[in-house]
Structure 1
């Protein structure tokens, strides 16, 4: 992959369009951050695997095993081991990583402009980014959910959600749900969009983006040290004073970006430069900690369950009063330490720079949006056919039940009858992701950019 293509991929498919050039026409270098694209792609694959694991194992109690700690209630499974469990039920950690990466990438261009003292370029960049952000995030959601809704209704497919009696009623239901879902500052109600439950993270992504733009602008005239202190204070506020875990994740990404940019200028804070002799050991330790914390039990928000979980009793004492759902506190540290350590460990950087992970990064947003509909329509039927029973199969796909039963041999999460359907499901999901990337995702970036330029005043 060329540096030019790597740069475009890193920015556009981390949920962003490629940064606008500054007034000098310069753009940020790509080699330093290309691994972030691969990390995002791999995280999207983890989300895919997590959702399929929970869906297929819902009827046999496997869901609770995956999302509880190893040894909870005397249940010991390889898939629940610390570190290993992330590969089976690491979807929540993957979403947390998405937010850290978004904070990093959203802040990179503005921070580089601040370092150069180009405040006019900063205003231009923030104006463009803020205008385009909602369109860039929501146009793909609009297109994919409307298409999914239409296909379900026209072909009378029994899936998630249940179809309405007429297409007009279906469209109206889609519209009333979406208009509420699209208002990111709503104060209550259900966060789910029933035509794609996994899109819950999109409003969170937009709110986090506004947090980044606001903080960048508010801190733009500060000294570098003051900005770093400000980021740390905000993280403390969002974790320990208010329940703003997602804002903390975005700000953590911005903090990591600030530190990386400072290192390029040889302006790393003195307190960190003193640790350089132990750099390698420190980052390997942080990586190990992130893998452990990333496997936080997530089946319930009941803190007593965490206290009763082997290996988590004392860690449960660290949970702040402000955080309602405890898992997001531990996932904040896991995701932040993971992104920080991967950037500094050569073997991990090389892994995420490999072609397959880069490909996943290129289609990651579309992959995230389409994997749910594929699971609910095709996946549900294939699982029913090979013997994975769900109560809903009697009404959604009775003709598929046990059509091609396969033996349920192998460890939990790696059973033969679970793996075989993915020879169909994964290629289909990747193919649809490629189509949506080309037909919807890419054009949505260009539409937002062109609309912004068309609306600019003449003297700009």
Structure 2
């Protein structure tokens, strides 16, 4: 918005504010939730999917050493898995992706419209076909979509788009939406391209996989995410669905829902699954007294067995509730704390403009938030 308006001073203020607040916004909720997991075992005796230390002090020392490595995003080693919540492996990538967005906006802020769009496309090409940077291609793709949306709102899209594509928008975006659903279901039970090639309906598509990509699924899911985000706002019934109060509610609690769903599955979920007969090998060690308490027959198609679905009548509402509670008690205060710390560092006479929209990854898609 500020780039299009030529307001580079306000752009710099907002980028500086966004960068300052980003670490706090991403990692403070992780600190709170993972320390809660530590206390579950050492204070309340509730085991999660980890091997606890003998004492609380030893556990906190292990937690500290893991967390400092987990938050050091400039390491050259493979991504660090945070034992206390393995699902958070995406957060360092999200932080790096945010840096890609901020740096790109700064670098291209004074470019012409055509040059800026070409550079954004070139950056996506670089992340996909030159280096194994598909995670960051998601952010660059989101940046390009946002740029195009802002240009469309001002009726400043490139002429070839408005002249040749606009009459066919409805067909184009329906095709993109259907394609996104197909590509999003890419078989990913292994990283071997031969397995993808042998999957029905994927032989020809498998040849599109770039040599630079180590894990092929991210290539197809990149296009699925971009096509989906591009098409949903332009298909009225889809847009109306995602603007419903329930979807807005899910968006509001999404980060805490993301952070707590894994720990809930490895505590309450393991106990419920063991009780109804969905037994795993570690249940005999972690929750032996829960095994077979309320056996339910395993009837139904694969993935929809009765003893798999029934526990979710408890797990889903409970996870939503915990996500909402922690959004109010943890996430919202962390956002306000980050903004307060930023304000604390600023001279009294300086006031910053509206908060820059920030890009975030959720389950392999790019979304926009205004935290």
Aligned-residue offset at 1:158: 3.2
1:459 and 1:378 mapped to 2: Cα distance?
51
The residue that corresponds to 1:225 in the other structure is 114
In the alignment, structure 1 residue 310 sits paired with structure 2 residue 195: no
The residue that corresponds to 2:359 in the other structure is none
The residue that corresponds to 2:278 in the other structure is 388
Structure 1 unmatched runs, 5+: 1-111
Aligned-residue offset at 1:130: 0.4
Q: Aligned pair in 2 of structure 1 residues 337, 189: CA closer, same or farther (>3 Å)?
A: closer
Structure 2 unmatched runs, 5+: 351-371
The residue that corresponds to 1:411 in the other structure is 301
Counterpart selection for 1:250 from 118, 122, 139? 139
The residue that corresponds to 1:211 in the other structure is 100
In the alignment, structure 1 residue 284 sits paired with structure 2 residue 284: no
Partner-residue secondary structure (3-state), 1:275: helix
1:357 and 1:335 mapped to 2: Cα distance?
18
The residue that corresponds to 2:361 in the other structure is none
Matches within 5 A, 1:28-427: 112-273=1-162, 274-427=164-317
What is the CA deviation profile of residues 158-187 of structure 1, one whole-angstrom value per residue up to 9, with x for unaligned ones?
A: 331121111111111111110000111111
What is the CA deviation profile of residues 6-59 of structure 1, one whole-angstrom value per residue up to 9, with x for unaligned ones?
A: xxxxxxxxxxxxxxxxxxxxxxxxxxxxxxxxxxxxxxxxxxxxxxxxxxxxxx
RMSD: 1.0
1:398 and 1:216 mapped to 2: Cα distance?
54
The residue that corresponds to 1:26 in the other structure is none
Indicate if the aligned counterparts of 2:79 and 2:89 stay in contact, CA closer than 8 A: no
1:126 and 1:440 mapped to 2: Cα distance?
25
Indicate if the aligned counterparts of 2:273 and 2:311 stay in contact, CA closer than 8 A: yes
183-192 vs 257-266, greater mean Cα deviation:
183-192
Q: Aligned pair in 2 of structure 1 residues 124, 190: CA closer, same or farther (>3 Å)?
A: closer
Aligned-residue offset at 1:303: 1.0
2:145 and 2:233 mapped to 1: Cα distance?
10
Greater length-normalized contact order (CA 8 Å, ≥ 6 residues apart): 1
Aligned-residue offset at 1:157: 2.8
Indicate if the aligned counterparts of 1:140 and 1:444 stay in contact, CA closer than 8 A: yes
Matched residue count: 349
2:253 and 2:47 mapped to 1: Cα distance?
28
1:158 and 1:368 mapped to 2: Cα distance?
20
Runs of 4+ off more than 4 Å: none
Alignment TM-score, normalising by the size of structure 1? 0.75
Alignment TM-score, normalising by the size of structure 2? 0.92
What is the CA deviation profile of residues 45-77 of structure 1, one whole-angstrom value per residue up to 9, with x for unaligned ones?
A: xxxxxxxxxxxxxxxxxxxxxxxxxxxxxxxxx
Partner-residue secondary structure (3-state), 1:364: helix
Partner-residue secondary structure (3-state), 1:247: helix
Partner-residue secondary structure (3-state), 2:207: helix
